[in-house]
Amino acid sequence: MNRRILTAILAALLFTGQAAFGAPSKSPDNSAVGFGLSDWHVSTGELDIQNYQTGDFTAPQPITLTRPGSSIHADRAVGNFVRKQATLTGSVVLHDDNGVLTKLSGTGSSNKPATLTCDTLQIDGVSKTYTATGNVHFNQGGSQVSADRAVINGATHELHLYGNVQLQQ
């Protein structure tokens, strides 16, 4: 098996902690490694493991995570599949078509499409939290919010905003 595909499969365990994934595949133009993982599909042009035993990996090219109704795009990522953690950097965009991945804390469920953009998104697969920093902007329905930091609780789907929070409706 190709090293790039094997490392992509191993690093993917970061996102669900499960080994239930579909067969690895290449994009039609052979530029990206892709695979199914539970309800996420991860795709990147290159994914390298620096140390298999410790779980450190790098995705130096654009990376995309998708599942029905939501996606995350970033310019690159580093992480550790053993600890189930990753840091996505560079033009990070988290988009939720159905409005169920995130809801603005204290406002109830919106079910309108939502988009979170930031410079850096840290993912902790164990606690199921997503921490956004740097040029954080959140849009849902008629609301637009900017803040220094945002934390999404993946279990409750609440979005908490911190530092210089500005809301426009």
Distance CA 128, CA 3 (A): 28
Ordered by start, the domain boundaries in the chain are 1-69, 84-169
Q: Using DSSP, state whether 51 is helix, strand or coil.
A: strand
Helix, strand, coil percent content, the chain, rounded in steps of 5: 10, 55, 35
Overall average pLDDT of the 154-161 stretch: 86
- Look-up of token digits 């035993």: 53
Distance CA 128, CA 132 (A): 13
pLDDT digits (tens, 9 = 90+) for 65-113: 888 888 999 999 988 877 878 899 999 999 988 877 666 544 554 578 8
Distance CA 46, CA 38 (A): 21
Q: State percent of the chain over pLDDT 90.
A: 31
Angle, alpha carbons 159-154-53 (nearest 5°):
130
pLDDT value of position 14: 39
Higher per-residue confidence, 156 vs 91? 91
Determine contact, residues 96/67, Cβ cutoff 8 Å.
no
pTM for the model: 0.76
